[in-house]
Structure 1
């Protein structure tokens, strides 16, 4: 699509709205065609924008896919109000439930499947995944655990390792079963149960003992 042919309504959008529409169109194309076969022209047409507009915001297919991954992993970097809840167990349960419900949505599961299926042919996908999630710095879960460690309330030394451990306990095998298509997304009540069990077990083994 040429600049002249791009709908006027699209040309009047803010940069933020353009980027959002482009990412949504790209996600559809990536999930339908796969990363290797995805075409930037197809993304531009799907967004009803010119290819020039697309490249102004995302200079390469790798950059565009990384932006899609950032949407997928956005909750991991979110500064949630629950991070500051005075009750640690409540804070951990709330953050984990929000993260897991997002990750267990069918679209996020499909994007993870795409990365796993194509990473050998397109190693840049692993780098994009890392930058979009783990490489973006401490997330809300890690920050809260770091604060608890600094104040001597948790018998741990590495907040990042602790956050990964707790998240892994909460997710368990459920995410693997979802990726393999062996089950559908669990109900909210089941997510709450998984998270509550993980948090209780984690805190039982890591909280500093109060001395009389």
Structure 2
């Protein structure tokens, strides 16, 4: 019996499996080459499929790019215990550290850079990235600050603006330098120090002084 005849028949991939392999291959190509330089031929080759199969799933490179970016949007995980933490300083530090860890992950940095490069072509991707990442973390901080303002413990009036200020103080500069390639990602100890310093400085000016 021939070697070909003895070989087990190759399992036929489902459409879902093909789609998953194509998106996985495209993810690597887009991160390696950027959107403009990425070629559909390279994606098909990396996935081990024909270009015809690729175009049956995605009629254009732009549609494939949008699908890959949507797959890559990993939501920030804010610990519910942090949001419920009674001590304000502890709660804010914990939430800021969670967001910073997420944004400083190598894959998130690479995706951030790629989305910035393509923001004019696909502004909806920037919005989706923001809502899943920095915007989600800032919203958690905003809700906590709004509750503190309503309780009369902070003299501030705009919780959203205050959350953005705190977020920028703790993360903004370090994230910008990382995106520009001027610094490497901060260590865990540096992330915690940045969050602690930002919260301490913020609360010095925002807390309503205790009376009596």
Q: TM-score range by the shorter chain?
A: 0.7 to 0.9
Residue by residue over 1:163-203, the C-alpha shift from the partner in whole angstroms, topping out at 9 and shown as x without a partner, is 11111000142112211212211111111111100010111
Larger Rg: 2
| Structure possessing the higher relative contact order (Cα contacts under 8 Å, 6 or more residues apart) | 1
Q: What is the distance in 1 between the residues matched to 2:65 and 2:103?
A: 22
> Which of 125, 128, 135 is the matching residue for 1:128?
125
Is 2:83 aligned against 1:83? yes
Alignment length, in residue pairs? 194
TM-score, normalised by the number of residues in structure 1: 0.73
1:132-211 to structure 2, matched below 5 A, reads 132-134=129-131, 139-211=139-211
Contact between 2:22 and 2:54, CA under 8 Å: does it hold in 1? no
Residue by residue over 1:105-131, the C-alpha shift from the partner in whole angstroms, topping out at 9 and shown as x without a partner, is 222222222233x23xx5134331123
Residue by residue over 1:63-85, the C-alpha shift from the partner in whole angstroms, topping out at 9 and shown as x without a partner, is 325414522xx21xx45221111
Unaligned runs of 5+ in 1: 1-6
Q: What is the distance in 2 between the residues matched to 1:9 and 1:203?
A: 61
Q: What is the distance in 2 between the residues matched to 1:193 and 1:95?
A: 13
Q: Quickly say closer, same or farther: Cα 1:11–1:177, change in 2 above 3 A.
A: same
Residue by residue over 1:103-160, the C-alpha shift from the partner in whole angstroms, topping out at 9 and shown as x without a partner, is 11222222222233x23xx513433112332497773222222222222222222222
Unaligned runs of 5+ in 2: 1-9
